[in-house]
Structure 1
Amino acid sequence: MGFQEIESLLKEEQWTRSTIVNYTIQSLEGLDVQISELDEEEKTEAKILCDNHLTEKERNSIIAMYISGSIQLERRGSEDYLLLLNLIELFAESKKWTLVEFLCQKILRKTENKHALRLLANSYAQNNREDEKYAIWERLVKVDYDEIEIVKLIGTYAQQKGNKEKAVAMYKKAIHRLIKRKDSSPIRSIFNTLLELDDDNFEYYMNLADQVGTLSKNTAVALLRDLEIANKDNVDHQIEAQKKILSLDREDIYAKENLIKSYKAKYKNHSRLKNCLESSALTSNMVRDVIHSIEDFETNIAFDKGTFVFQNSTGKIGRIRSINENDVIVDFAGQKNTEGNRLSTAMAFKSLLPLAKSHIWVLKSALPKEKLSAKVLEDIPWTLKTLLTSNGGKSSLKEMKAELVPSVLEPKQWTSWSNHAKKELMNNPVFDLSANDVDTYILRSTPVSYEEKQLAVFRSEKQFYDKIKRLKEFLSSKGDVESDFFYEMVKYFSDMFLEENGSLKQMGEVTDYTFSAFLLLEDLVLKQNMNFINRAEGLTFKDLFERTENYELSFDAIKDPELKKSFIDHVVEEVQNWSKVLANLFQYYLTSYIPDIFRHHKKQAEFNKVYRDAVENFKEKSSTLIYLIKNSDEKLWNKAGITSEQLLFTKLQLLDFTNRCIDTRKDVQENRKNAKTLMTLLFTDKAVLNHINEGNEESAQKIYSLVANVFDLPGGKKIEIKHAISEKFPSFRFFDEVSPIDRESLVPTGLFCTAAALDAKKKEMEHIQHVELVEVAKEIGLARDMGDLRENSEYKYGKEKQSMLSNTLRRLSEEIDRATVITKDKVDPTRIGFGTKVVLFDNLKGEEITYTIMGPWESNPNENIINLLAPFGKALLNHQEGERFIFTLNDQDYDYTVRKISVIEL
């Protein structure tokens, strides 16, 4: 089959107006046979013909899409399956499911394409092939790390089939992905399902609560309460869960009460339990941080024979000889009482501070003065480390003297010792001066010195470019360039080229180190007039360039920007085909420097190859593409042969790739910066929306296919694009629409509210995002145009207003993520809670009062609508009709009896 045959097929299809209904698997297999008879050159011609046909004549040509897409699919390294995917969607719209399956499998034989997997699963679903659909879904979630809903569905299906192991694995995967997405709201329902299936995995659930706690403390607390209930028969597990709750919410009265009960159950046979509880203030009304109380309780109850202690009142060091339920006997250093010092248990744990065995106070009390003095005098580094460590990692010489004289050293010994200590502190790289107090020394791992120590720092650097950095810092600090210190630094680089007698060394492998050392020495001699420096006379940059095996790798490895610039200058001056070399080097030096050289030499046409290469290889050259996008107008792209649509599609593909790199922790800082730029260009600046508005439905289909598959794209952006496409193309069918999840069936957690309140908050957030922030951005732009920003009050006011709106938007987003809509049927009418109206009898005032219990959004204290999260609201919760309860808030006593509870309309 040749060029003419393809052309004939396309004309025949166009003239006969063949419809999708006419196509069968045999039709496509026939095209496959004809494609297989083409050689590579003919395939290229056929693809160009088909692509032009789709662009210029018939955008929905089945033959053109299939031939071009199939040839593209065969090509090594190609990941562009848009034509075949669009063809699949056309067949899906016509319910040609056998063809959908045929084409999906065609793609999937080469790659696990997410889009193809989704389309194939949808095809199976349309034909009630449930087992096959779920098998495809399992393949999908292995390659689409952003997919969560399908993961949960697979877990549910496995659970229904009795496959507990798979169900547990899928539910865990779903939770992990939700955490990565920073979406805590759906986690609790999955968490409880996991507890039912796999209750013997306590450490996993505790770790999970830790991770969720970084997203939402309320959700984490709810998970821990569920975990506490599930472990009702394991007191140790209950204690861990209760402590974790209190670490998240120190005011959680229920967790504290439950923890006390658990401690009592665990230590019911411990003779000092009551005293330890009281001394720690866990059971008292004393206002104290509960975490400190827990620490005190566990420390006190764990004190044992042999512990070193410090007595606060006397300053004495001792060691516990024995301990029982009533007394602690401590042997204090230097005491004559052979029976030891007897303290009550309560007093002992209030007045004694445990110490490490290596603490200087312990050493001073445990070792004879002569022995410790000898150690201090002979091992100054050990002494300094001991003193610094005992004082929290930092100390001044004055504090050291107070610690050593006269308890360890005599005053006359101090002068000599301190002189040696000062030298050690200045010369030993583990000691440094505090940045805040020049009289205080701290422990460090890197040396710090004055001019003499610069050479020591230089020597200590293990990396070549860190040595260059140190040398440049020496120069910038006006160090003495004629000193031996500077000479030895420079000699490190000149020794790479020169023998001891000054003659050139036999050149070995030329690397980035070779280039950098050469360029650095040349800069010092020729640009900074340091003629006293020995450099490799007779050796040129061209000599090195011609000897290097890979100049690109060498240039890329150079870590100093100024040396890179010098490298480029030498290429232009000394390398014959410099334009080709600089085009290859541009990706490693993304500034205007290289493009300016091309423009200066009127070689812009040659630089256009860089534009095309960046688009074609956007994954490998993402940073290059980002730079060109930010710094080139449409005219330059058009001259390079890149259309605006092609560039837009490439940006979307690059955003997906960049987000995945971030997820896998690859070049995170650079990729985050690139992702932020792409999000601004594509969505903030409305490039995608503009293209949809200006384009046709086919273009919108391509755009949505790309947008939908962008990894880690904020959900709101996808919704925004969906809305824009639906507005322009009402009959548009989105490939990824799945059955909505019944969120009303979820267990309510987080911020309780009504549907109306949630809708109002969403509208408020939308107004801020799309109206107020847009207006203030315009105001800032106008203010900026007025001139000097330092004296520009309009600009400052605009920035402050923008910051305030952004903070409000962030708070609303967080609250909405935590919100749970409560309907009337979910309200418990037997207890005071969200959505109830309660009539209370005030026993102190002898009168009735009515309150309505709602969430923070609907509360209005002036109308007796109480926030259930407020202290007063919490005090009312869960009480039943006929129950009397008393509490105190802000020094005011309350005494109520519940007369009536009713459910309000929500």
Structure 2
Amino acid sequence: MSEEFKESVLKKLQEEQWTRTTITNYTNLEELEKIVQEAKEQGCTDEIKAICDEHLSHSKDSIIALYVSGILGVKKSSLDNTVLQTLVGIFLNNHKEALVESLCKTILEEDDTNAFALRTLISCYRENKDADNKIWETYEKLVKVDSEEAEAAKILADHYKELKNDELAKEFYKKALLRYVYIKNYIAVKDVWEILVKLIPEDIDFFYLVQRKIAKTISADKSATLMKDVYNYYKDKAKWDTAIEILKLILSIDPKDNWSRKEITTCYESKYKGHSHVEEYIRDAGFSYRNVFDAISDFEKHIAFDEGHFVFHNTWHVGLIRKVENDMLVINFGKKNGIHKMSLKMAVDALIPLSNEHIWVIKATTKSKDGGFSTKAEMVDKIKKDKAWTLKTIIRSFNNSCDIKKIKAELVPSILTASEWTAWNSAAKKVLESDSTFGVNPNNSNEWTVRDREITPEEKLSNEFKAQKQFFPRVDILMKFCNNDLDKTSELFVDMRDYFTGYLKSYINMGDTKDISEQLMASYLITRRVYPQFIEQNADSVNFEKLYRQIEDPRKMYTSLKDTKNTSLKADFLKNVGELSDWVQQYIRIFPAVLSKDMLTILVNKGHKDEVQKLAQTAFDDFKGYRDLIYFFFDECRTDEWFTEINIPLQKQLIALVNIISQAYKAIDNHVDSTENKKIIANICKLIFNTGKKKDDDGSSIYAQYMLGSDKETMTHMYTIVDDIAELDDLIKAQLRSRILEKYPDFKFHKAEEKTTTPKGMLVTKRKLDEKRALEERMNSVDLPKIAKEVAEAKEKGDLKENAEYIAAKEAQHKLGLDLKRLQEELARAVIFDPTTATASIVSFGTDIVLENKDTGAEEKYTILGPWESEPENGIISYMSPFGMNLMEHKLGETLSFTINEHKYQYVIKNIAINTALTKF
């Protein structure tokens, strides 16, 4: 900031005289806006705001200071509108409405969600009859930005109702009603409720939703009273099922409500008007004197058993009631189970009433009024093709709440095979997600429900949120709501949002606490993102720095924040840490948990390379405490300039990594974090030993290269610390031994134990394995494409029955396919033989033997290798051949006698020696 500009601002403030004449001279705010723009251009908005704030401490009515401080505060996204409110008050008291309007527009250019500016504009427009259109637009903006603004929503709803725009009127009345509930204004709730009962009486799900909120926040009794208005509509329309459900709800709140008891009997009489025993069952149920829900249960059980109704028995399954004679039912359970008679009393206990559209009835009768089929084949085809209908049918069959497991049980294997289910289920899940008539059961996140009316995306997510009981999945749902650009002024969103602010309110009420949980920290981060007004309003009680300083282990906190594709808790946490005064020290402190190359780049580029280098040095000095960090530095940073400058010896780095492997195996033996330890072992082995490579793996790993490039003593030490890890893959050790033998053919390893059992798989030499892998690659990439081309070309030449070229090409293609399959099977079984484990104490893989033929007296010499190396004509035989198997594991001087293909062999073993050229195979 230039001193000249600073002095000019100070001068203007000092020269300002607060008089009515001064205010009168303000016809616009251009001069004041120039100060704001200049501060912005010079990058000194904070300094200029501080100067104005200091001036206001002793000149509270300074128009210049109020304007500049207020607008710069808006630019900083501050929610404190105090100075602007003072300025607006001065202008209005002096009849400067035009300046107020101009000021509000300037505020909204910087922050279009500023509720204070919107309310002030509305006040201005009320005085200006020519601003009719502007006022309604501004009301809508206010309702959108302030989720607790109920009165404005009601005013808008009345406005659109007057204009006969029913859709918008309904939308804003709904918002107004839910917001009045939120602020517990029952008089306003009752007023809007009565309006909506007339406008949208059929939207029963909405009224149920509001009723639950009223019962929770205002009064259960008042919510029941309001539901009586909705009940009257359904009674008048003779929609008895819904009317009865409403009465049950009212009675659940007040079981002694005589009006509801009388009304429910009226509804039952009307619904079952044609039933032969309705009056008798109502009388026997005792609605006027018994527990009302016992009465309802008895009546509904009895009324369900009438002629023509379907029932279910655990043994006889689906049946149809054919006759009702006094208290005796005649039920047809189909050809298999026949006709049974049962008393009404027994039926109530033993049978389950079923509707005509129950999935069990449909499968048993293969007839459906709504399904559009009349045969079993048509029913099966309908289920397979019309997933939405099938899902709705099954879900409604089980009290309108059903999980995927139950749906599968109804379809497999009775309708779909297990393989058909896989594809059907995948398509069905897409229907459940995309069809707006399906929703998650608010009481169980695994179950789905069906609505007659479409469920809005907001309500769908709200139900998922209610059903989900775990904290971080709830965070995911809230952010999914935000990321899908849904209505964040929706009261459903406010309910979800308030779940997280509840954590912060509890923290504020409890005062300082050292127990900062990941849920509390996540709630702060989420609230700061979606509801910054709350954070601003409670900045003194809850802010990031205050929370952070109470965290015992920031690394653990970072790790505990669980992210999904919809959330960014970890990134938000780090962003807030980066705003702390000691952010460098905190970044270094947290880094072992973060392991981010971007974070390192920030630290190095901002001049903190020394701190990063010190961290790296500390890590390699303490492999037990920094194992993930050591792996990260070695994998991601070992060629970076800042890292190479430390000059940590490569030997030290490699030994640290091997020690981490050893430490991880010990932890696994003690059943400590087995999954994580297995992961770090696999990662390090892949990094320094080249494990996991399928080809071109000649053992030239980082570890082997360093080991072989060192002096013999160092090489021996490097090999030994690997060999001492008993659990480490023997193949890694074998590759290192092979490389050592290439350089030092006479190198002596610790004596290998004699193996008296044949290893699993097929022993092969490394050279042969490389040859076979190369052959597989050539067959896949060259031979198969070539022969496929030949088949295609031959096919184009005419009649395939007479086409010799085509037949020959197809035969060659078939043979090549079989050869490749056989080779791949052998490769899968191949195990590289470790030459350092060869022993001359017994006949084994890799030995040269001399046999004396007892029949001829001649000596025969053989080398024992594997099937791939076998050359019988040159004396190289496979240990898996009949001849080789009869020789294996016998000792010097033993006499052997065996028969192969009716030919008897008799030998004496005269000599056993390790093949000197074994390492070349």
TM above 0.5: no
Choose 1 or 2 for highest CA Rg. Answer: 2
Shorter-chain TM-score: which interval? Answer: 0.3 to 0.5
TM-score of the pair, normalised by structure 1: 0.36
TM-score of the pair, normalised by structure 2: 0.35
Greater RCO, CA 8 A, separation 6+? 1
